[in-house]
Amino acid sequence: MGSESVPCKRSKWSVSASDMAMRTYNPIRTVVDSMNLKPNPDKEVIALSIGKSNFILIGSLMPSDHLQQYHKANIFLEVG
């Protein structure tokens, strides 16, 4: 089995937000969204999207080697 990704064509989401999601308030998002900052042209922008766990999966925001080794050791202790 390979680990190749298969392209997916998704035209549009058609999912309504739940009542609970509509009542959710994130004060940090409010502050960040209201900031009027000019990006530094000499630096790459890091998106601060909430719930963007694929940063780790695609390798653009990897945890430290120490943390990776710790998790590997603990996963093998519990699984194997």
What is the reported pLDDT for 42? 95
Its sign, for the CA torsion 29, 25, 55, 17, is negative
What is the reported pLDDT for 70? 86
User: Torsions phi, psi of 17, nearest 5?
Assistant: -70, 145
User: For 26-75, what is each residue's pLDDT tens digit?
Assistant: 888 888 889 888 889 999 877 666 555 555 556 666 778 898 888 888 87
How would residue 2 be classed by pLDDT, with cut points 50, 70 and 90?
low
Q: What gap in Å lies between CA 4 and CA 24, rounded to an integer?
A: 37
User: pTM for this one?
Assistant: 0.31
Q: Tokens 């710790």 sit at which residue? A: 70
Nearest to 52 by CA among 61, 64, 41, 43: 61
Q: In the chain, where are the structural domains located?
A: 19-79
Structure tokens at 54: 């694929």
What is the reported pLDDT for 50? 56
